[in-house]
Amino acid sequence: MDKLKQHFINREEEVISIKDLYKSFENLDVLKGINFSLYKGENVAILGKSGTGKSVLIKIIVGLLKPDKGHLQVLGKEVNTLSKRELDALRLRIGFSFQSSALYDGMNVYQNLAFPLRMNLKNLSKKDINLAVERVADAVSLKDKLSQMPSDLSGGQRKRIGIARTLILKPEIMLYDEPTAGLDPITSTEIIELINQVQHRFNTSSIIITHDLTCAKCTSDRIAMLLDGKFSKVGTFDEVFETNDNQIKEFFNYNFM
């Protein structure tokens, strides 16, 4: 299940650039000087224990939280300076795959997939919507499930549809929140393969937040280890985990106990 390598990463084009980013909540310092770049066409897995600030960082990237200080550019835009309209436009270029899949229970699969288009691209014809829905449903191998309700799907199928709904707006950046959480090993492998297929087929750049080291190793071009409010080590899987750092060793050993 090695990661496919036949894709191009442009290390001269940063789609996300973070410099000296800090965030605190009252007396709790969460992010303590984050420096990070995500390059065009690259997948980076962010690892760290619960409560280390992974979700806070993602919320800052999409403008849901403001940092206390530091610089953040996403797709060339300084996020903290954007108006609401500009921020909404930027968010359309970013896909967020929720851990829970976040499907609407009262809509069938087709309606769930069509919903982002109808909300954000109101000039599309029914034919355009149908083609877009079929395209992303085919990309996640669930074209035959369009008439079914989310409650009729397995956990892995719901995760796939959640990813498809994110892809339908053709995002340039994908953010995955614990994509394999709660899935059995076979379904986890399928989701890992899908993340790699998305990178290749849709030419996305992705951040993958995960506790699953198999997912991190098989989907990422680089690993970023978040410890004590900073990225303590960034590199390939082997570069990060071939270390004498006890905290990183403990994280590795805990995941493979």
Q: Where are the domains of the chain?
A: 10-93+171-255
Per-residue pLDDT tens, the chain, 257 aa: give them: 555 545 688 888 999 999 999 999 998 999 999 999 999 999 999 998 877 888 899 999 999 999 999 999 999 999 999 999 999 999 999 998 877 778 899 999 999 999 999 999 888 999 999 999 999 999 999 999 999 999 999 989 999 999 999 999 999 999 998 999 888 999 999 999 999 999 999 999 999 999 889 999 999 999 999 988 999 899 999 999 888 888 888 877 766 54
What's this model's pTM, rounded to 2 decimal places? 0.90
Contact 95, 204 (CB under 8 A): yes
Compute CA 177 distance to the chain's CA centroid, rounded to the nearest angstrom: 6
For domain 10-93+171-255, is the CATH number 3.40.50.300?
Answer: yes
Between CA 114 and CA 123, with CA 119 as vertex, the angle to 5 degrees is: 90
Contact 189, 162 (CB under 8 A): no
Using alpha carbons, list the distances in angstroms from residue 188 to 102, 126, 131, 139, 214: 18, 34, 28, 17, 9
Contact 95, 102 (CB under 8 A): no
